[in-house]
Amino acid sequence: MRDETVQLALPAAGDATERPISIAIVAMGGQGGGVLTDWIVQLAENHGWVAQSTSVPGVAQRTGATIYYIEAMPPLDGRKPILSLMPTPGDVDVVMAAEFMEAGRSILRGLVTPDRTTLIASNHRTFAIGEKIAPGNGIADQGAVIGAIGIAAKTEIIFDMNALAIANGSVISAAMFGALAGAGVLSFSRESYLDVIRAGEKGAQASIRAFDAAFDRVQSKSPEPTAPPQSEAAKTPSSPAALDPRLAGLAARLTQELPAAAHAIGRAGLKKVVDFQDVAYGGEYLDILGTLHAADRNAGGAGRNFAFTQAAAKYLANAMTYDDVIRVADLKTRSARRARIEGELDLSGDQVLQTTEFMHPRMEEVMGMLPAGFGRWLSARPRLLGWLDRRVNKGRRVK
């Protein structure tokens, strides 16, 4: 078969130009990804470079991170370059991940490559909604990420930047900026990074402290395991009896009636149930759990470390503490929640805090507060229920 393809000479249009520095940042809401992006762009522009940034937002409520992308380079002979709007797999110089599993997702997307990419990532975990709502243990396996980081990146800088930022009264974006400076991938001085932070004024001192700590950490090359650190609280569950004197008797009963393997999850379930209602409700929880454990024991559960009893302790507590309207209102109006918000905002003594709660009740939520008989009567009348729902089903803001 004869090849009749016409071959055209395509000479280069001109000399090859210097390629831009490309930086991809993946961060969740509240982690300061936008601020970090602005800092890097300002840093480049302060040195006469042309810089461009774009962002692709993720989905709210921690189901996806926002990807920020930056390209920057000096102008060539006074001409401004045309910069890309999105990262190209295999062509990214620096990937910065504000959470450990987001580093893994960047590797899966092909943004991290062993011939080019410096990976700067925090190894703490912020669980996604999918991990939280899974019926069992839905926490993603970090082992694959740990294994991939060592071979996927040209250089990796991994440590708990979130803990470092909190220790210095700042947010993770400041620590990541310091890690970027310490990595030396951009030809700018440490002082020029700090000038960008100082220009922000608000919170500058705390940001500088976090920046300095991260910079020194990277420069010292102090080793830290790649795996996210496990808190002591996670290793040793606290006893509810130590938190609430009302639970002392129930906690002693739990220890006597349940196997040691189910003690930790049983105490957590007991604390949740009593907090939901009262001590008598906690006794009912142990009654039902005891029956389920007996069935597990009779079925040979000892040979499986009473796995059924452990699962039952968790799911029974969740089933007995349904978050209805009254429960949500209780949690939102607690003084501890108010104190936590005030602490996060670092309020001074003369400042006044006002909060606005968003509510969107449907007739289902209204019926959940009605006597059971009346609720069943309404549910059997769909036309009436629909008429009422059209008048109730709308968003409200309660101050």
Neighbours of 248 (CB within 10 A): 13
- Co-location of 167 and 274 in the same domain: no
Number of domain units in the chain: 3
Q: What Å distances lie between residue 250 and 51, 267, 286, 341, 398, CA to CA?
A: 63, 9, 8, 32, 38
Tens of pLDDT along 172-209? 999 999 999 999 999 899 999 999 999 876 778 999 99
pLDDT digits (tens, 9 = 90+) for 253-304: 999 999 999 999 999 999 999 989 899 999 999 999 999 999 999 999 999 9
Claim to verify: residue 139 and residue 203 sit in the same structural domain? yes
Could you tell me the pLDDT band of residue 395, with boundaries at 50, 70 and 90?
confident
Asked if pLDDT for residue 230 goes beyond 60, the answer is: no
pLDDT of residue 234: 42
Q: What's the residue count for the chain?
A: 399
| One domain, residues 145 and 278 | no
- Domain membership of residue 12 (yes or no) is no
308 and 375 together in one domain: no
Question: Residue 158: CA atoms inside 13 Å, Cβ hemisphere, count?
Answer: 25
- pLDDT of amino acid 281: 93
93 and 200 both lie in a single domain: yes
Does residue 40 share a domain with residue 184? yes
- What is the pTM for the complete model shown? 0.60
Is the separation of the CB atoms in 174 and 206 below 8 Å?
A: yes
Structural domain of 175? 21-220
Question: pLDDT at position 238, please?
Answer: 43
Lowest pLDDT segment from 68-72, 156-160, 223-227, 290-294: 223-227
Is residue 184 domain-shared with residue 306, that is, in the same domain? no
CA distance 75 to 53: 16
Rg value, the chain, Cα: 28
Please report which residue ranges of the chain form alpha helices under DSSP H: 33-46, 100-108, 129-133, 143-152, 161-167, 172-183, 190-199, 204-220, 232-235, 240-243, 248-257, 263-276, 279-298, 307-319, 325-332, 335-345, 363-367, 372-379, 382-392
